[in-house]
Amino acid sequence: MAATILDGKSLAKQSESDFAQRVQTLKANSGGNTPILATILVGDDPASATYVRMKQNACQRVGMESVAIELPVNTTTEELLAKIHQLNDNPDCHGILLQHPVPEQIEERLCFDSIELRKDVDGVTCHGFGRMAMAEPAYGSATPQGIMRLLAAYSIPLEGKHAVIVGRSPILGKPMAMMLLNKNATVTICHSRTLDLDRLVRQADIVVGAVGKPEFIKGEWIKSGAVVIDAGYHPGGVGDVELSAIHDRASAYTPVPGGVGPMTINTLIMQTLEAAEASQ
C-alpha cells in the first residue's frame, strides 16, 4: 500500500482561506484595524532575506500587514534590543519575528527573550517554551507547531506511540519533543552524536528528522509502517531523511519540499492572527 503524503502545501493553502475570513471579521469588529507582523532582518544574508520576504507575502495573501525592519550588519545587541522594545510598546504591532541567524556580535538569545510573550508568535522565547512544555497557553515554535497541525489534519495517532526525534535545537527538536509528550507519545531525543542511532530510529513509530544534515537518516533505518516527518531542507531539494528509500516502508511521510516548510510560515501567520484577536 502506498504511503500517505502529508501535504503541507495543500493544508497551508486551505488554512489561508480561513485566515482571510478571520482577518476580515477582525477588521469589521475593530474599526478597520489589521493584524500586523513586524519582521526584523539584521544584515544582508540572502537566504534570510528570502525567508522574510516569504513571510511578508503570506501576510499579504490573507489580508494582514507586515512591517519590514532592516538593520545593518554591524548592529549591536543594544540597538536591536531598543528596536524590539519599541515594537513591544507599539499596540498596532501584534507579532514580532526576529529572523535567525543574527550577526555573531549580537547576543541572539538575549534578543529573542526580550520579545513580549503576547507577541512571541514565532515561539522563540524561553518563557514561551516553558509555558508550552507545561501545557500552559503560549505560542509554540512555528515549525514544530506546524508539524503538530499537519499530524492532526491527517489524523495520525500519537498517544502511546514511540516518537524518535533526531535533532535538539531550541526552536525545533526540543519543542517538538515537548509537544509530542503533551499528546501522550513516548519520546526519545537523539542527535548527530547519538550512539547506535540507527537502532533507536528502527524502533520508532514516528520519526522526526531535524538534524540539519542532508539525508543523514537512512531509509533502511525506518521500520515498516512508521510515520516520517522530514523537517530538513538542503540544496538539491533533499531533506534530513533519505526519502527516496522509504516509499514502500513508511505509512505516511512529509515530502521535501512541500511538507513541513509551508506549515512553518502558515503557523507563524496563524499565531499572529491569534495575537491580534486576543488584543481586541
Alpha helices in 41-163 (DSSP H): 46-61, 77-88, 108-113, 126-133, 142-153
Beta-carbon contacts of residue 215 (< 8 Å; ≥ 6 apart): 238, 239, 240, 241, 242
What is the tally of helices (H) and strands (E) in the chain? 9, 9
| 117 grid coordinates | 510573550
Q: What is the DSSP letter of 206?
A: E
153 exposure class (CB count in 10 Å sphere: 0-12, 13-18, 19+): middle
Question: Distances from the Cα of 83 to the Cαs of 51, 133, 182, 221, in angstroms?
Answer: 20, 29, 35, 47
Query: What are the residues facing 42 on neighbouring strands?
Result: 71
| 41 grid coordinates | 532582518
CA distance 188 to 262: 26
Contact indicator for 175, 130 with CB cutoff of 8 Å: no
CA distance 277 to 275: 5
Which residues carry out catalysis? 55, 99, 122
CA 237 to chain centre: 19
Residue type, 177: A
